[in-house]
Copies of this chain bind each other. A is one copy, B any other.
């Protein structure tokens, strides 16, 4: 496969993306600070390549408080035997490194949600410059891409692969095949609100077969989600013939979140007491939970109901919710 000519970027890769074997290093992104005009941010990158085969980009730490993917890719980087591979895996285990170091969704440097930065800008903030580099220098090298997310601090989600519902059926089939191989309990297909600026959309614009995912959440490292992720990334390698063997695990349940009626939003700030655990089957009109206000101690809590029935796929993580926060999201079978 040839290198695509790429737009100029201020980012420098300190490793050779075409080297055989395992190469680890950093992408160096300029970051002008008051106390370091020529400062840089070093984004960890690992390339494992051997012989012929597809190029797969695996990313984690798009949001800094989503941990299953970060640990899974760090482990894969240490444990994958280059000799066993056919093709090339590019790993960004802590892609949005400033957020990952902070353990926060958004970067403390520029306040940006990295998954709202694509296709990026070579003269923008650190997050925009990095997004532009990934879009112009890495995605063109790839046949497939998977971005490992979880719900982050704010929400807890059943481990799922996530893909977009697209008009190009053949292309969408390839994404679904990759999701089947990944083998999460659920595959969620979405018309993501504001999808344009995500890495998933950027990959699709480049014609790369691409998936996102939600592998846990609530700000913690979910052991079950981690196991799903570690198995899943190897399953994808097998699916593409890059590792020997066939994908392991059960059949993934294909679901959708069709519209806003499947979301329960907090109408005001309060403490959310959920009526159901994640994974429960719920009915439209049933009580989703109570939202407690502390200001007037004898006022009754606000009871909220589900606007649609299905599987309780996502719940608020922290006890306290702000006005406008989703406290429950219901998925239904496709």
Contact = CB atoms under 8 A, between A and B. Distances in A.
B46 A14 contact: no
A123 B292 CA distance: 32
Nearest to A118: B123
A272 B152 CA distance: 15
A116 B304 CA distance: 37
Contacts of A300: 78
Interface string A10-54: 101010000000101000101111111111111011100000000
Contacts of A106: 32-34
Interface stretch (A170-178, A232-240, A242-250, A322-330): A322-330
A69 to B, nearest CB: 11
B38 A298 contact: no
Contact of A271 (B221, B269, B296): B221
- Say whether chain A's binding surface is mostly helix, strand, loop, or mixed: loop
Contact of A32 (B116, B301, B322, B326): B116
A103 interface: yes
Given A67-B320, A219-B317, A325-B39, A33 B154 contact: yes
A161 interface: no
A103 B297 contact: no
Contacts of A91: 297
A296 B44 contact: yes
B272 A221 contact: yes
Given A39-B324, A155-B38, A196-B122, A297 B104 contact: no
Interface stretch (A93-101, A136-144, A205-213, A280-288): A93-101
Contacts of A65: 34, 318-320
Given A218-B220, A294-B97, A36 B155 contact: yes
Given A41-B324, A295-B323, A324-B41, A105 B271 contact: no
Interface string A163-206: 00000000000000000000000000000011011000000000
A113 interface: yes
Interface in A297-316: 297-298, 300-301
A319 B67 contact: yes
A70 interface: yes
A226 B41 CA distance: 30
B320 A295 contact: no
Contact of A298 (B67, B78, B101, B220): B78
Given A34-B104, A74-B294, A221-B272, 9 more contacts: A10-B193, A30-B193, A41-B324, A70-B292, A71-B271, A71-B273, A77-B298, A101-B269, A219-B318
